[in-house]
């Protein structure tokens, strides 16, 4: 039997956090939402629509198509697995980029404050490195509702010296509800189709 004397209060907080994290992971099998037909529309005029699965060089992927004003502008080819979400490539402007190795977009669920990950891919003429960290949990009000979102700071770097910074506000089982760009522009979720 565990008594207050044998189980000090300083142990309760980490245990409670662990139980909540495990409960969240078990309660949310679609932690990183990716079913065919799911869509997210943002106040920038961009809609993202998930489709698939589709064959991509012998690998089954989900395809995230980005539309602007109803016109497709790019696609991302994604794998959702127990070890996280990876992109095998992207297409835009008639150009297909295959990532070798695939880039890690998100690590295995669940995310936690302080989680960080780094992934690099070689495109032949240059490399891309994605470096990300979960900064905190934030209350976010968007036209699509109020959310408690994980703030993920994502840096994209190339070996040519190019660099971008983007803050993503991610809600498990919902997706990204806000983007904040390097220049401070805010893009909010206005509608989603679960």
Q: What is the average pLDDT across 121-140?
A: 95
> Residue 7 pLDDT more than 60?
no
Q: What is the C-alpha to C-alpha distance for residues 158 and 95, in angstroms, rounded to an integer?
A: 18
Q: pLDDT per residue over 62-113, tens digit each?
A: 999 999 999 999 999 999 999 999 999 999 999 999 999 999 999 999 999 9
Does the residue 143 lie in any domain? yes
Domain range for 36 is 29-193
Number of structural domains the chain divides into: 1
Does the residue 165 lie in any domain? yes
Q: 175 is written with which tokens?
A: 């997706």
| CATH code assigned at 103 | 2.40.360
Q: What is the C-alpha to C-alpha distance for residues 92 and 72, in angstroms, rounded to an integer?
A: 9
**SS3 state at 13:** helix
């Amino acid at each position: 039997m565990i008594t207050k004397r044998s189980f000090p209060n300083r142990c309760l907080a980490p245990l409670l956090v662990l139980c909540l994290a495990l409960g969240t992971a078990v309660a949310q099998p679609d932690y990183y939402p990716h079913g065919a037909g799911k869509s997210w529309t943002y106040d920038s005029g961009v809609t993202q629509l998930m489709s698939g699965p589709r064959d991509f060089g012998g690998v089954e992927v989900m395809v995230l198509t980005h539309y602007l004003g109803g016109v497709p502008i790019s696609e991302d080819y994604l794998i959702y697995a127990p070890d996280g979400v990876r992109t095998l490539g992207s297409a835009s402007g008639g150009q297909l980029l295959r990532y070798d190795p695939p880039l890690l977009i998100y690590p295995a669920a669940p995310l936690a404050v302080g989680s960080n990950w780094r992934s690099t891919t070689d495109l032949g003429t240059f490399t891309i490195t994605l470096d990300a960290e979960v900064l905190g949990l934030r209350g976010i009000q968007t036209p699509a509702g109020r959310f408690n979102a994980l703030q993920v700071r994502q840096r994209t770097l190339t070996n040519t010296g190019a660099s971008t910074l983007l803050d993503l506000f991610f809600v498990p089982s919902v997706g990204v509800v806000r983007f904040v760009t390097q220049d401070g522009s805010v893009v909010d979720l206005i509608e989603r189709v679960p």
